[in-house]
Amino acid sequence: LYDLQLACGYTPHERQFPPRELKDLGIFHPYQEQIPKHCWNRPKNVDMYKCCPIPRLYPDEVLDSCGIEKLMEDEESSPKGSPSKLACKDGVCLMKKSNLLTEYDRVDYEKLRAYIDQWAADNPGFSEAILEAKKHCAYRDSANPTECDADQIFVCLTANIIWHCKFKDYPECKELQEHIEECRSYYYQKQEDNLKSKPETKTQ
C-alpha cells in the first residue's frame, strides 16, 4: 500500500519517494521481499478518499499558509498543484505552522502525540483508527532514522488509518476492503514485530 493516494489534506510530492518501478516500498522497504507484489499497490481505479474519507490532519489555514492546494470533497484524491522545490519542504512547513517542531526544526513527538489525540477527539468516526496509527507513527525510532520525519510520519499515519478504516458502502470499496484485508498483515505484522523486538529504540 505504498502507493496510497494520501487524502488528509496534504500529499507529499512524489519526487520525495522512489518511483514504483524502483520497487522501493518506502518505510516498508526492509520487508518488501516478504510482501507479495500484488500487495505493493492499491487496486486500480479505486478512489481511496471516496472509500475512506480521512479527516484532514491540518486545517485549511495551515495548508494555505504553506501554499498547498487542499483537496475538495468532490475531487479525486490525486496530487495537485506545483511540486515542492525541496524534498520535505511542505511537510516541515505544515508541522512548523502547527507548532509541532522544536526550535531546531525537529519533530516534537510529545506535541505530535497531543495533536493526534485532539485530531482523534475531533473526529469520533475515525478515532479508533487514528489512535491505533498513533502507536506506530508518533514515536521517534532512533534505530531507523529517516531523511524526512515530517513526511514519513504523514505516510505512516495515513497507511495505518487506511488499514483500520470503516470503508463506505460503495461497490468499488468492496474490492479495496478485500485487498486491505488480504494484504494488511504483511505490513502491519512487521510493525508489530518491530515494536516488540526493539522497544529501547522508541524514545520521546
| 58-84 confidence digits (pLDDT tens) | 999 999 999 987 654 444 444 444 344
**Cα separations in angstroms, 203 against 68, 136, 193:** 31, 12, 17
**What digits encode the pLDDT tens for the residues 159-203?**
899 989 999 999 889 988 998 888 888 776 555 555 554 444 444
**Which residues does 89 contact at the CB level (< 8 Å), separation at least 6?**
none
**Cα separations in angstroms, 189 against 133, 193, 197:** 13, 6, 12
- The whole-number pLDDT of residue 26 equals 52
Nearest to 10 by CA among 73, 59, 76: 59
Separation of alpha carbons 43 and 181, rounded Å = 13
- The whole-number pLDDT of residue 70 equals 63
> Alpha helix (H) ranges present in 9-148?
48-51, 60-65, 89-97, 109-122, 127-137
**Which residues does 125 contact at the CB level (< 8 Å), separation at least 6?**
166
**Which residues does 132 contact at the CB level (< 8 Å), separation at least 6?**
160, 161, 164
**What digits encode the pLDDT tens for the residues 80-134?**
443 444 568 899 999 999 999 999 889 999 999 999 999 999 999 999 999 999 9
> Which is more confidently placed, 15 or 141?
141
